[in-house]
Structure 1
Amino acid sequence: MIHELSISHQVLMIEEVEHELLPQFYNLADIFVFPTVMKTEGFGIVALESMACGTPVIASRIGGIPEVVREDQTGFLFEPGNFQELSEKINVLLADDAMRANLGRAGRELVESEYTWTVVAQKTLDIYRAAIMNYRFGR
């Protein structure tokens, strides 16, 4: 499709990247598109990785992704399989440098405040503590 549309000079298709090189690729991108249609998509760690690098995300509104990619705050969401909506959102972001910068900055701030390993570990400990307290006191 890329060749049919004569956009090969604008699109970089990569099969596999070593994990430690991912930030370099996210930083090269103007936007990160995550068009999954998997109803079992739990969370979408790739969206967080992109946001941690300050790259705005356009992702499917499915599974746990909307908890991470917040519409008009850290990126855009579209209905799975609705490629018209996806293309419109891509065009909006590509046309607006300031919006891309703002969404990218907000995404990075969200990752730093809510999704660092320290924060996630603390939230997990809090859940276990609450479960233990409920068990001990029969709540």
Structure 2
Amino acid sequence: KLLYNAADLLLMPNIHVDGDMEGFGIVGLEAGSCGLPVIASNIEGIKDFVETRLNGFLVETKNADEFIDKIKMVDKLNNDIIRKTIISNYEWPHITLKYLEIMSK
């Protein structure tokens, strides 16, 4: 938490590797829970929690110019909204309710 609080954003320039995949990108949720915007490659797992212009930006893999453009845009995002969005969607009570809802069907 100390490192996240000292940062301005989280950059995740992940790339697709055959036979491997990003499970979900927990580090992005951790950063978001501290109010950090996430700028990440638009790949599986990560794109499930990054909502463009709400808590960060998705960028095409290996597109350095697009990453630079999005870094310049993070000041337009509200850190408090980022934190509240991540916490409200990914706290254990919320996740538990989602699981119960799925299992009851």
Name which one, 1 or 2, has greater alpha-carbon Rg: 1
- The reply to whether residue 118 of structure 1 matches residue 99 of structure 2 is no
Q: Which aligned pairs between 1:27-46 and structure 2 lie closer than 5 A? A: 27-38=5-16, 40-46=21-27
Work out the CA distance in 2 between the residues paired with 1:35 and 1:46: 13
**TM-superposition CA deviations, 1:12-44 (whole Å, max 9, x none):** xxxxxxxxxxx1101100111111113622321
CA separation in 2, counterparts of 1:70 and 1:92? 14
Amino acid at match of 1:35: P
User: Aligned partners of 2:54 and 2:73: how far apart in 1?
Assistant: 14
| Higher relative contact order, chain-length normalized (CA < 8 Å, sep 6+) | 2
**Which amino acid in 1 is paired with 2:4?**
Y
Tell me the matched-pair count: 102
% identical equivalent positions: 40
Q: Which residues of structure 2 form unaligned runs of 5+? A: none
Q: TM-score by structure 2 length?
A: 0.86
Distance 2:27 2:16 in 1: 14
Unaligned runs of 5+ in 1: 1-22, 131-139
Q: Which runs of 4+ in 1 moved over 4 A?
A: none
**Cα shift at 1:118:** 1.3
Q: Aligned-pair distance for 1:64?
A: 2.7
CA RMSD of aligned residues (A): 1.5
SS of the aligned residue for 1:30 comes to coil
| Aligned match of 1:51 | 32
Please report how far the alpha carbon of residue 66 of structure 1 lies from its aligned counterpart in structure 2 after TM superposition.
2.1
For 1:57 and 1:114, the matched residues in 2 are separated by: 16
